[in-house]
Amino acid sequence: MQNLEEFRKEVKEWLNDNCPKSMRAGANPSIPIDEVWGGRKAEYKNPESKLWLDRMGAKGWTMPTVSKEYGGGGLTAEEVTILNQEMFAIGAKGPLLSFGIWMLAPVLLEYGTEEQKKEHLPKIIKGEIRWCQGYSEPGSGSDLASLATKAEDNGDHFIVNGQKVWTSYADKADWIFALVRTGPKEPKHDGISFLLIDMETAGVSTKPITLISGKSPFCETFFDDVKVPKENLIGQQNAGWAIAKALLQHERAFLSSFGLASSMGSGRDLVSIAKKHIGEEDGKISNGFYRSQITAHKIKEHAFGLTLKRAKDEGGKASATASMFKLYGSEHNKRRHELMIAATGINGVAWDGDEFDKKDKDLTRAWLRTKGNSIEGGTSEVQLNVISKRVLGLPS
């Protein structure tokens, strides 16, 4: 306990000395806020964003529990709690957003060789290398294991050919972790390998995808005779599917830690929108039909929120119902946006120009973006399959 109090004191002092003022709550609002993803191509509007990342990265506190030999903070769970509390106390901004931290690093720690951990983890932790995820393909969506991007064994290296899709931020990333087919003759789950590929290698190219909502972070990524050294293979050749699934669990864990419903789309309040655009009589939304539709939705959201809380209070049982949370989180979000644009009327389908408010134009785009919610990360239909088979035990 003495040690923990000592640690708290050190953390407090270090943060006080090292966390730039613009990275704390109450910073001058005129200083631009960077969304810091790190990497070789990173650009910073505020140099203090970079300074804060470098300082936290050097301490290994972007992944505080990882051991120091891999560049982590080497902290215990109790010490991490203290670090979080002290950062929260001064309103310190998180220094780094990173698919490397959320998805790849946990998998490297479990499946990587000593050399691979030493090579890649420190760069993830310092934010020097930005990673993207190469999973889906044009022909492999829900049926991911049917993926066709092939990696041919060519002695000390693989030759990779194929295409990935929905690779978020591939145009800004330095490396990609990709699922490739190394065993074309094996059953589909037994011919997949987990490969790390430097995006600067000759033959790798990316192209951004424009969604129905406009610009997006999604890209297509192409591999044309890309030479990848064998040392970049994680785990055994043709044994990548287990790693792929482990990584998906980490992905879901970080997605749910963001709180699905609130992080997706517009956070505007449905009832105030309805009162503003439809009208208000005696404090009520003046159109009874809209009011009942909105209420029915609000009741469902209330019960869903209580269900998230109950799962937390029950502790640990959440994994059985993770599919339900994904399903309802995305379906409710879609419904909420449908009700928002309906309540906003003509302005709810505004696209461009000075005649419309920015927030209404943003709402139109947010509504369109939610259409992807029930597709990305496993479609609603896949979630229903999982519930009926794994939870209810219905036969295949």
Partner 1 sequence: MKLILTEEQEFLRDTARDFARERTPVTHFRSLRDNKDENLWDKDIWQEMVNLGWSGILIPEEFGGSDFGVAGISVILQECGKTLTPSPLFSTGVLGAYAISNFGTKEQKEKYLPKIVSGEITTALAVDESSHHDPSKTLFKAEQKASNFLLNGKKTFVIDGASADIFIVLARTSGNSGDLAGLTLFVVESSIDGIKKIKLDMADSRNYANIEFNNVECSNEDILGALESGGETVERILDIGRIAMSAEMLGNAESAFETTIEYLKQRKQFGVVIGTFQALQHRAAEMFCEIELTKSAVMAAIHGADENSNELQRLSSLAKTIAGETLNLVSNEAIQMHGGIGVTDEYDLGFFIKRSRVAEQIFGSSTYHTERYANLSGF
- Residues at the site binding partner 1, with contacts judged by CB under 8 A: 271, 274, 283-285, 291-292, 294-296, 298-300, 302-304, 306-307, 309-310, 313-314, 321, 324, 327-328, 381, 383-385, 387-389, 391-396
We find the least distance from the C-beta atom of residue 280 to partner 1, in angstroms, to be 10
Measuring CA to CA, which residue among 57, 38, 17 is closest to residue 98? 38
Torsion angle defined by CA atoms of residues 338, 265, 260 and 44, in that order, rounded to the nearest 10 degrees: 170
Structural contact between residues 371 and 390, judged by C-beta atoms closer than 8 angstroms: no
Cβ-based nearer residue to partner 1, 33 or 391: 391
Q: Are 178 and 161 in contact (CB under 8 A)?
A: no
Q: Which two tokens stand for residue 131?
A: 């990673």
Residues 199/176, Cβ–Cβ less than 8 Å: yes
Find the shortest distance in angstroms from Cβ 309 to partner 1.
6
Alpha-carbon span 334 to 322, nearest angstrom: 18
Q: Between 282 and 352, name the residue whose CB sits nearer to partner 1.
A: 282
Closest approach, Cβ 262 to partner 1, in A, equals 18
- What residue spans of the chain are helical by DSSP H? 2-18, 47-59, 77-89, 99, 105-111, 114-126, 240-257, 260-263, 270-277, 288-314, 322-344, 358-370, 380-386
- The smaller minimum CB distance to partner 1, of residues 184 and 279, is found at 279
Shortest Å distance, C-beta 84 to partner 1: 23
Shortest Å, Cβ 246 to partner 1: 25
- Output the CA torsion 250→185→223→243 (10° steps): 10
Query: How many angstroms separate the CA atoms of 222 and 206, rounded?
Result: 6
CB closer to partner 1 out of 8 and 291: 291
Residue 329 Cβ vs partner 1, minimum distance, rounded to whole Å? 11
If the CB atoms of residues 187 and 395 are measured against partner 1, the closer one turns out to be 395
- Closer by beta carbon to partner 1, 308 or else 363: 308
CB of 298 to partner 1, least distance (A): 7
Query: Nearest distance from residue 394's CB to partner 1, in Å?
Result: 4
Please, what is the minimum distance in Å from the beta carbon of residue 305 to partner 1? Answer: 8
Contact 232, 151 (CB under 8 A): no
Question: Measured from the CB of residue 250, what is the shortest distance to partner 1 in angstroms?
Answer: 24
Residue 192 β-bridge partners = 181, 239
| Shortest CB 387 distance to partner 1, Å | 4
Q: How far apart are CA 213 and CA 361, in angstroms?
A: 10
Nearer to partner 1, 129 or 260 (CB): 260
Nearer to partner 1, 9 or 302 (CB): 302
CA distance 396 to 394: 7
Instruction: Answer for the pair 212, 167: CB distance below 8 angstroms, yes or no.
Output: no
The residue (of 3 and 292) whose beta carbon lies closer to partner 1 is 292
CA distances (Å), origin 377, targets 98, 108, 317, 355:
17, 21, 21, 37
Residue 348 in tokens = 């709810």
Angle (CA) 302-333-254 rounded to 5° is: 90
Nearer to partner 1, 167 or 383 (CB): 383
Give me the helix-helix angle, 288-314 and 270-277, nearest 10°.
Answer: 170
Q: Which residues does residue 157 pair with via DSSP β-bridges, in sequence order?
A: 154, 229
Nearer to partner 1, 121 or 274 (CB): 274
